[in-house]
Amino acid sequence: MTYDPAIFQYESTGNGDLTGSWASVDGNEISSGKLIIGGFTGSGNPVVAGSNGSLAIIKIKAIYSGNDSGFTRQISINKYLDDIAGMSPIPASATFTFIR
């Protein structure tokens, strides 16, 4: 996942509704503006093919303190790997417009 670190600050990651029974879902900021999000099923239920819902809940805080208004920035999911490599994020990006 990527975002503009001058505008947003990563806060936390937790289980989504499809991973609520999993042992762990967490995020790690690998560089400024880039997250890797992963999970471990443990004794929880795997995500069934064709499921709709969220894999993770990611909290991002808007930190922009400038006076500009009307500009947009995106938060994007770049790709899925490993066991969920065939999944497609819908939508893959969210656009935010900052209004002062």
In this prediction, residue 84 carries a pLDDT of: 83
Domain spans of the chain, in order of start: 8-97
The reported pTM is 0.84
CA dihedral 70, 71, 74, 75 (to 10 degrees): -70
In this prediction, residue 85 carries a pLDDT of: 82
What is the 8-class DSSP label of residue 97? E
Percent of the chain with pLDDT over 90: 68
pLDDT score of 57 more than 90: yes
- CA–CA gap between residue 41 and residue 62 (Å, rounded): 31
In this prediction, residue 100 carries a pLDDT of: 76
Please give the average per-residue pLDDT across 33-51, as a whole number.
92
